[in-house]
Structure 1
Amino acid sequence: MMRILMLSARYLPFAGGTETHVSEVATRLVHKGHAVTVLTGNPDGLLPAAESRDGVQIVRLKTFPRGRDWCFAPGVFRAVAEGDWDLMHVQGYHTFLAPLAMAAASRNGLPFVVTFHSGGHSSRFRSSIRRFQHRMLAPLAARAAQLIGVSRFEADLFSHNMAIARDRFIVIPNGARLPEKSGRRPASPHDRPLIVSLGRLERYKGHHRALAAFNVLATKFPDMRLRILGEGPYEAKLRQQVAELGLGNRVEIGAIPPTDRSAMADLLSSAALVVLLSDYEAHPVAVMEALSVKAPVLTTDTSGFRELAEEGLVRSIPLNASPDFTAREMLAAMEAGPISVETSLPDWDDCTDRLLMVYRRVLSHPQPELRTGPALLGDLKHDDRC
């Protein structure tokens, strides 16, 4: 049995790709007989400081400033240092919790691995300093026993920006599994007129692009509807755009609780098309979930989406495509229908098994200097095939 500490800035009941990833792999690790503790933030101070969910122990720390996504938690250093762990997995890098945890692990001789889970940001300033942030984090990341990207794009990006050799990185993609729904057939704009736009309600997620294109389609298909699936600070702007376009009775905005997997499966299975017209995605969990229920997906031709398009999993359009062009591509994607039933997708069991391989390889090298880089390649090198 391994005693695994996972560090994630946010965790359930918060929704998001990283939160879903951590929950899915943590619960599977517990079911395989390992002890997992998730160390996370409590941004609004409203959640229990400690609880157990599905066998996963959750420890929530006070974060400062309250409610901010760039928070830090002074308690991280003590929690990592005083715990009885075999290994730590840092899930996500974008807040100050990650470097504090890496520093604590380094100081206490605790081996750790890092999965970056990178994302975009609606703030131009925050986006502009990402490379600087990567360089500042590089000395700590270089001490990791293994660096993991969720896509080749992400591994290449962080290798370049951190000036860390690419062979220090492996790729373990996000999984996807929703409750199965039987009897799904190829959809068309004529018989299944629902489009779902996925993602947290941030400007960079591109819901405003989906709305503009839907406005073009709405004049031709009076029964077509749009569901913007998410929550976040951009909601008021999106509702304003809906009102200005006169689409109030055709557009619904709202999230599904992240623990309600059946409701998510129901909605995505009923969609004629799922879109995510984002500025940046490394390997979006939401898109993988849509693909897992055989929904056709349209994305932008950027970042990690390109790998999915190359594999024939999604249809993509230029980031700066006009609403008319986007609308035409939406129709084309709906008419083309879902991916082949025979298409194999990574799932959370695959992801968990590959992480376990990493953990075991790390712990099999008692000397810290042998826990990194080529010493770990061996059996893991095949992970970069995805």
Structure 2
Amino acid sequence: MRIALVSDCYLPRLGGIELQVHDLAVQLIRAGHEVTVFTITDGPSSAGDVPVVRLPAYGGVPLRAAVDRLRAMLPGFEVVHCHSSLVSPLAWQAARLAHRPFLTLHSLPSASMPWPLAGIDRYVGDVQWTAVSEAVAEVLRNQLPERAIGVLHNGVDPELWRRYRRTDHTLTIVSTMRLVRRKRPLATVRILEQIRAAVPSAVPLRAVVVGDGPQAAAAARAVRRRGLSEWVDLPGRLTRFEIQQLYASADVYLAPAELESFGVAALEARCAGLAVVAMASGGVGEFVRPGIEGRLVHSDSEMAAVAAALLSDRAELSRIQSFNRHTDPVMTWRNVLAQHLTAYSPRAVEAQPPSASRR
């Protein structure tokens, strides 16, 4: 199949949508399909083996030339799959122009902040809405009751996160995120402080909060102000390989975001053998079952208490870690790719001229 993936954000920018769209493109190409990514993120005309069409934009809004190019190029694809965050003008424009495209929502809207979903739905027209998790799908179903909402999960290659052998190390807590308000890095620092207070002082601890973003400086100040600098590290952005090495010497992963649509970083940590402690309000619950892959909590204080209890109970921690390291989640790329191709197949048939459909 000829498949167009459309995402406002893409490599070399790093983030959940960026990496997932790239990984999906790679998996589709390996399966023998022709894939092109369309984006307004600046960069080279390819990302590894993935061809990329970089369209002109100003202030994050595609220019008329970008729209004209989409209009000219998208009819050449059998499947158009647009990937949307809460604000994704390129993805919405492509969905409006394409013939019955997929439009996948990667973000979990906040109930306290009205999101004009009905208006977006009217704008894009005849699309197949999908979501990266049941948590996101439920929001779409509630607001678009006339729409059939599917789920196309994000994927992971578990073996990539198990390539490094675990070594002896100080008990280590990890969290990986963009340091933006929505991901709650400052709350993470407060949770770490509570964990240290709850775990006996004779037990050495280490914590690493990986990532960069607008709240990086505020997070660093909070670590210093709370006297956590001796055991809490903020290394900034790390590569995937560096994160894989870090996870091989870590024990508990914290996912403090209350609006986590899926939680790719938590899924990767789970595959690496870390016990995951996450908020129950997002999509992480689809691959973290209480007492099996980790724990789900409902508040920051509960997250601190649960994480501290795990760090203090080596037998329970080892049991969860062993299960996670030796048991694949449902969202392996093998399963997720099959999920996508099953969804795409009817659209590919529709895109063919009548003679091709009859062959």
Q: Judge same fold: TM > 0.5, yes or no.
A: yes
* Residue matched to 1:375: none
Q: What's the offset of the Cα at 1:306?
A: 3.7
**Is 1:159 the equivalent of 2:141?**
yes
Aligned to 1:86: 78
The CA deviation string for residues 150-209 of structure 1, in whole angstroms up to 9 with x for no partner, is: 1111111112123333xx222222222224235448x9xxx5322112211012212222
What's 1:77 paired with? 67
1:134 aligns to 2:117 (yes or no): yes
In the TM superposition, what whole-angstrom CA distance separates every residue of 1:311-370 from its partner, at most 9, and x where no partner exists? 743312223x33xx43321122333323515533121222122211211121223599xx
Check 1:299–1:353 CA distance in 2 against 1; reply closer, same or farther (3 A cut): same
CA displacement, residues 95-129 of structure 1 (integer Å, 9 cap, x when unaligned): 21222112222xxxx331111111468xx9xx613
After superposing the two structures, state which structure 1 stretch, 294-303 or 135-144, moved more: 135-144
Check conservation: 2:56, 2:66, Cα contact below 8 A: no
Following the alignment from structure 1 to structure 2, what is the Cα–Cα distance between the partners of residues 254 and 183? 22
Cα distance between partner residues in 2 of 1:138 and 1:92: 12
Task: Provide the rounded CA distance (Å) in 1 between the counterparts of 2:49 and 2:305.
Answer: 47
In the alignment, does 2:129 pair up with 1:147?
yes
In structure 1, distance between residues paired with 2:351 and 2:284: 38
User: Are the counterparts in 1 of residues 266 and 284 from structure 2 also a CA contact under 8 Å?
Assistant: no
1:353 and 2:338 correspond: yes
Contact 1:114 1:141 in 2 (8 A): no
Aligned-residue Cα RMSD (Å) equals 2.6
Instruction: Note closer, same or farther for the CA distance 1:285–1:223 as it changes in structure 2 (3 Å cut).
Output: same
Contact 1:120 1:279 in 2 (8 A): no
* Among 44, 48, 51, the residue aligned to 1:54: 48
Question: Structure 2-normalised TM-score?
Answer: 0.84
* Structure 2 partner of 1:381: none
Summarize the Cα distance change of 1:313–1:361 in structure 2 as closer, same or farther, 3 Å threshold.
farther
Do structure 1's residue 175 and structure 2's residue 155 form an aligned pair?
yes
- Are the equivalent residues in 2 in contact too, given 1:176–1:347 (CA < 8 A)? yes
Question: Cα gap change, 1:237/1:164 in structure 2, threshold over 3 Å: closer, same or farther?
Answer: farther
Give 1:113's aligned residue: 102
- Written as runs of structure 1 = structure 2, the 5 A alignment for 1:298-309 is 298-309=277-288
SS in 2 for 1:365: helix
Do structure 1's residue 6 and structure 2's residue 31 form an aligned pair? Answer: no
1:317 alignment partner in structure 2? 297
Q: Using a 3 Å threshold, how does the CA distance of structure 1 residues 238 and 77 change in structure 2: closer, same or farther?
A: same
* 1:247 aligned onto 2:228: yes
Cα 1:86–1:225, aligned 2, differ >3 Å: closer, same or farther?
same
Between the aligned partners of 1:76 and 1:332, the Cα distance in structure 2 is 53
Shift of 1:89: 0.4
Alignment map for 1:17-32 (pairs within 5 Å): 17-32=16-31
Overall identity of the aligned pairs, in %: 24
- Which structure has more relative contact order (CA 8 Å, sep 6+)? It is 1
Amino acid aligned to 2:40:
G
Contact kept, 8 Å, 2:164 with 2:248, in 1: the verdict is no
Deviation at 1:307, TM superposition (A): 3.5
Q: Is the 8 A contact 1:230 1:255 kept in 2?
A: yes
Q: For 1:284 and 1:157, how far apart are their aligned partners in 2? A: 17
When the two structures are superposed, what TM-score results if normalisation uses the length of structure 1?
A: 0.79
Return the alpha-carbon distance in structure 2 between the equivalents of residues 54 and 367 of structure 1.
29
**1:362 paired to 2:341:** no
Matched, 1:206 2:184: yes
1:270 to partner: Cα distance: 1.4
State the shift of 1:233 in Å: 0.6
Go from structure 1 to structure 2 and tell me whether the alpha carbon gap of 1:19 and 1:162 turns closer, same or farther (over 3 Å shift): same
Q: Deviations over 1:229-262 (max 9, x none)?
A: 11111111111111211222322213444xx432
| Equivalent pair of 1:276/1:287 in contact (CA under 8 Å) | yes
Closer, same or farther: CA 182–232 of 1 in aligned 2, 3 Å: closer
Cα–Cα, structure 1 residues 356 and 194, in superposed 2: closer, same or farther, change >3 Å? same
